[in-house]
Amino acid sequence: MSLLHIHASPKGARSASLRLADAFLDEVRRLEPDLEITRLDLFDTDLPEFGADSAIAKFAPLFGETRTPAQEAAWEAVLAQIERLDAADRILLSTPMWNYSIPYRLKHYFDLVLQPRVTFGYDPQKMLHYGMLRNRPVQLILTRSSVLPGDFADFQLPYLKFAFDMMGIRDLSVLAAWRTTRPTPEAREDYIASFEPQARDAAAAFLARPAGKPD
C-alpha cells in the first residue's frame, strides 16, 4: 500500500500546510508503519514543460495525427506523471491558497495529469466528463489567510474537488486552516499548532477508508 504526498508551498520548514501535513503523516506512520510514503514537492521538482509539443501531442489521437518524435517524448513525460499519481493507493495534497486559487506549480501539475482518454473521458451523449482512474481516498490539507472554506471567493477547494472528480477520484476529505497570517513567529506557530489535533484525527479517519478499490 502506498501514499503519495503532493505538496505545493515553496516555504519549506516555514510552510503552515507542510506542518499540518507532517502532523497528519506522523499519525499515519504511527497507525500504519508499513505504508510506503513518497513526497512530490512541486516547488522542488522539475515538472515537464507543457508547451507546444505536449499541447499538440494531447489532441493528436483525436485529430488522427501522428506525433513527431519530440511530441512523443513530451507525451511520455506527461504519462510518467500520470503513472506516478495512479500508482498511489492514497493521496495527501497539502497546499496554500494563492490569489483565491492554487499556486501555479499545482496548476502546472493538474495541466499534466488531466488528460483526455488517459485520466478522463467525455460522453458526447450526456455532454459530461467521466473519470478514468480508480477512486481512492484523498486528504486535502488547505491553508489560507482570510478566505473561509465555502466563501464565494474560494476557488481553491472547488477547483481541487472538480479536478480530482474529473479523473474519477471522488473520496475527498478536507482539513482547512484559515486566518493563518499572524504578526509574530510565536503567534503563527501557536495558531497553526492548534490545528494539529485535527490533522491527527483526519489521519485516523483517512486510513479507515478503503484504499483504491475499483468502482
Cell numbers representing residue 192 in the block: 497553526
Using rule CB under 6 A, residue 54 touches ligand FMN = no
| DSSP string over 27-67 | HHHHH-TT-EEEEEETTSS-PPP-SHHHHHHHHHHHHTPPP
Q: Total binding residues for ligand FMN by CB under 6 A?
A: 18
Using rule CB under 6 A, residue 142 touches ligand FMN = no
Cell numbers representing residue 175 in the block: 482539513
Using rule CB under 6 A, residue 9 touches ligand FMN = yes
Distance CA 90, CA 175 (A): 16
Q: Which residue has the cell 479507515?
A: 208
- 162 to 181, contacts with ligand FMN by CB under 6 A? 180-181
User: Which region, judged by CB under 6 A, interacts with ligand FMN, from 13-21, 36-44, 48-56, 72-80?
Assistant: 13-21
Query: According to CB under 6 A, which one of 147, 157, 175, 176 is a site residue for ligand FMN?
Result: 147
* Cβ(169)–Cβ(138) below 8 Å: yes
Query: According to CB under 6 A, which one of 3, 5, 15, 85 is a site residue for ligand FMN?
Result: 15
Query: Minimum CB separation from ligand FMN for residue 20, in Å?
Result: 8
